[in-house]
Structure 1
């Protein structure tokens, strides 16, 4: 029997770390510093790991001290009664909408580019049986109160349409800041009609850092708010959902129902706390670096289709003799590769200024090559902002 057990133990054994794992990780840090794919590529630093190692020991389905402390802190700074730590922004949005929506038929009104509409696998329909009312903003930036009034469904006496129960807004959306006065106007109207408000504030940290507005002020117009620790702040995992106590209690039950109840989350809560303290103050520098990238591209004649209000720049190579796919291939082929995702460039807390300079140098080289070959028109664009495609990577 002992021999059989030893054999099974040998089969189970698995050493996942390479003998040179520290060197492998150092290369990964370098690659992340040269990635413009998303701010989700950021990784914990040794300092964050060291802090997280001291995280409390408990079971979050029952009682986990650091996780509960993190939830209480986020409830306080968002001005809400309670909060719930969850594994992802998608889960946070889906739990919020499921907790708000009880019995179909019902609909959710949103921007057509919203994450819940484009990047959450149809979860709104799957989990909530909800229809969507997706608005394309005529200003190319954000939906307005007038557009909400035009599209909201408040009456279903004839049974033709599903009544709007929730308005979902996103801030930032594709890196752009939703004007707070417009949000307040939409919220006042919604609440006057008995319609709830949910904020996908995955990157709301950027809005607070750029505008100087408190999270309480930014969240006040909403009945529930989702904010990510792994977007912008560089924590390894997790989002927070904040709202009224009874709403959060319902969301906690739904989290368990969806298989999202986590156990020993103390070290993850500690990592999030480290990110709040040490990484949030770095966001203004991220915005400045994104603005440097935008200005450099525009000076080369690259069209800016959505400006760097926070951490993202959208561009077009129209008229330059090449497209974004060629930029991606050439960037990957550099001796020190740069990774991109199409026409969206995301700057994050681990992006190096060297990477920005190298990317601008690549654009310059490509433009000069195409002009020499007679493939580019050589005319610089005015860089005016237009709406970005709704179908971009989160």
Structure 2
């Protein structure tokens, strides 16, 4: 009798990802994350988060998953919207929102030129929605104003232009808080011209904590809001899109079309719930550590390009004769290395205070070495008239979001 080939097939296919040193590897990764300044996307689930998450309900979310539905209902409630939708990422949330708002081309989306939708979503607005993007460079180098919106918005029926249908704001943007009174002014104008308002609120949690403003109040001016769980809050995966019930029903359709309909999402929803309860309160400490980092850099003589309003700092070490690569290289040579990019420093809930002190020590030492070799430090002046977003300088080594 012929031997069945099935055992050989099964043997070839099977895979065991767990090794004897998995626990040690994870411990090493957590230590690395604590010393990484490139982004808050690199935060990892804690053992307590895992323990909570595995108790979540089971179910296929394309049909109905109880824990995920509970998360969506909670997000709708705290944002003051009728409904919410769990999606894989912030990019998915933003792009599904735009596609749901935008009905028939031609149309345009107006936003800050630094916005994630404009710079870091691979041209998704054009790809998915056929939308023209109108990027504006704010004169104050901090946030858009109503006057700048009015100057750039496209209205009327002139066939040479794509009429504006959505104004997309980001809060925080590069860690900076968008003044709520200016958002309200823009929203009132948008309503008067029948233009939708979308908020990329990937890090809106930071704004709520730092300004001590209810999330509902921050979200009220917007027709749709995207909120991330996997950045500042440290959950492994996921964002939510919130808005009117009819809008979310259509967004759910587009989520499916875009390949974002997921199955057993309960464990992900539970991780997000754990983060909302246990990690959100940690953001005050994050902001304090960011300000400590900023103060240390200024004491050394480094120019601050964008201040530590929440979790990010942009800096320019050329005032003390030092380059980003020199800092990153020196950091990588430590017995416990630092992971650094260019001008952007991101502090997160798992950043070690010791890592901040090590970073400052490196910059201080390099600055002293340059001075000893004859370099004359510049007098630091805030921004020096220019905001330089160069954190992609080491893009070959570091992935940015």
Report the TM-score range of the alignment, normalised by the length of the smaller protein: over 0.9
| Corresponding residue number in structure 1 for 2:396 | none
Query: In structure 1, what is the Cα distance between the partners aligned to 2:369 and 2:335?
Result: 19
Query: In structure 1, what is the Cα distance between the partners aligned to 2:9 and 2:333?
Result: 45
What SS does structure 2 have at the residue aligned with 1:110? strand
**How much has 1:12 moved relative to structure 2?**
0.9
- Asked if structure 1 preserves the Cα contact closer than 8 Å seen for 2:343 and 2:391, the reply is no
**How much has 1:380 moved relative to structure 2?**
4.3
Q: What are the superposed Cα offsets for residues 295-348 of structure 1, whole Å, 9 maximum, x if unpaired?
A: 000000000000000000000012322211211111111111000110100000
What SS does structure 2 have at the residue aligned with 1:41? coil
User: RMSD between aligned alpha carbons?
Assistant: 1.2
**How much has 1:382 moved relative to structure 2?**
3.5
Query: In structure 1, what is the Cα distance between the partners aligned to 2:62 and 2:40?
Result: 29
| Corresponding residue number in structure 2 for 1:73 | 74
- Asked if structure 1 preserves the Cα contact closer than 8 Å seen for 2:315 and 2:344, the reply is yes
| Corresponding residue number in structure 1 for 2:230 | 230
Tell me whether 224-233 or 11-20 shows the greater mean CA deviation: 11-20
Query: In structure 1, what is the Cα distance between the partners aligned to 2:125 and 2:316?
Result: 32
Alignment of 1:2-41 (within 5 A): 3-41=4-42
Q: Does 1:347 align with 2:319?
A: no
Query: In structure 1, what is the Cα distance between the partners aligned to 2:365 and 2:4?
Result: 65
Tell me whether 327-336 or 97-106 shows the greater mean CA deviation: 327-336
Q: Does 1:287 align with 2:284?
A: no
Alignment of 1:305-344 (within 5 A): 305-344=305-344
Query: In structure 2, what is the Cα distance between the partners aligned to 1:242 and 1:372?
Result: 56
Alignment of 1:24-173 (within 5 A): 24-156=25-157, 158-173=158-173
- Asked if structure 2 preserves the Cα contact closer than 8 Å seen for 1:291 and 1:308, the reply is yes
Query: In structure 2, what is the Cα distance between the partners aligned to 1:186 and 1:389?
Result: 25
**How much has 1:20 moved relative to structure 2?**
1.1
- Asked if structure 2 preserves the Cα contact closer than 8 Å seen for 1:175 and 1:311, the reply is yes
Query: In structure 1, what is the Cα distance between the partners aligned to 2:109 and 2:164?
Result: 6
**How much has 1:138 moved relative to structure 2?**
0.1
Unmatched tracts of structure 1, length 5 or more: none
**Distance 1:149-1:90 versus aligned 2 partners, 3 A rule:** same
What SS does structure 2 have at the residue aligned with 1:165? strand
Query: In structure 1, what is the Cα distance between the partners aligned to 2:77 and 2:388?
Result: 34
Query: In structure 2, what is the Cα distance between the partners aligned to 1:3 and 1:377?
Result: 79
Unmatched tracts of structure 2, length 5 or more: 393-399
| Corresponding residue number in structure 1 for 2:389 | 389
- Asked if structure 2 preserves the Cα contact closer than 8 Å seen for 1:79 and 1:216, the reply is yes
Query: In structure 1, what is the Cα distance between the partners aligned to 2:3 and 2:37?
Result: 53
Query: In structure 2, what is the Cα distance between the partners aligned to 1:47 and 1:97?
Result: 36
| Corresponding residue number in structure 1 for 2:377 | 378
- Asked if structure 2 preserves the Cα contact closer than 8 Å seen for 1:297 and 1:360, the reply is yes
Q: What are the superposed Cα offsets for residues 188-222 of structure 1, whole Å, 9 maximum, x if unpaired?
A: 00010000000000000000010011110000000
| Corresponding residue number in structure 1 for 2:395 | none
- The aligned length equals 392
Tell me whether 42-51 or 328-337 shows the greater mean CA deviation: 328-337
Query: In structure 1, what is the Cα distance between the partners aligned to 2:261 and 2:133?
Result: 28
| Corresponding residue number in structure 2 for 1:253 | 253
**How much has 1:228 moved relative to structure 2?**
0.1
Query: In structure 2, what is the Cα distance between the partners aligned to 1:214 and 1:199?
Result: 16
**Distance 1:300-1:167 versus aligned 2 partners, 3 A rule:** same
- Asked if structure 1 preserves the Cα contact closer than 8 Å seen for 2:235 and 2:275, the reply is yes
Query: In structure 1, what is the Cα distance between the partners aligned to 2:379 and 2:3?
Result: 76
Q: What are the superposed Cα offsets for residues 92-131 of structure 1, whole Å, 9 maximum, x if unpaired?
A: 0000000000100000000000000000000000111110
Query: In structure 2, what is the Cα distance between the partners aligned to 1:94 and 1:391?
Result: 24
Q: What are the superposed Cα offsets for residues 17-48 of structure 1, whole Å, 9 maximum, x if unpaired?
A: 22111111111110000000100000000000
- Asked if structure 2 preserves the Cα contact closer than 8 Å seen for 1:113 and 1:391, the reply is no
Q: What are the superposed Cα offsets for residues 151-208 of structure 1, whole Å, 9 maximum, x if unpaired?
A: 100112x311000000000000000000000000000000100000000000000000
| Corresponding residue number in structure 2 for 1:200 | 200
Q: What are the superposed Cα offsets for residues 41-98 of structure 1, whole Å, 9 maximum, x if unpaired?
A: 0000000000001010000000100000000000000000000000000000000000
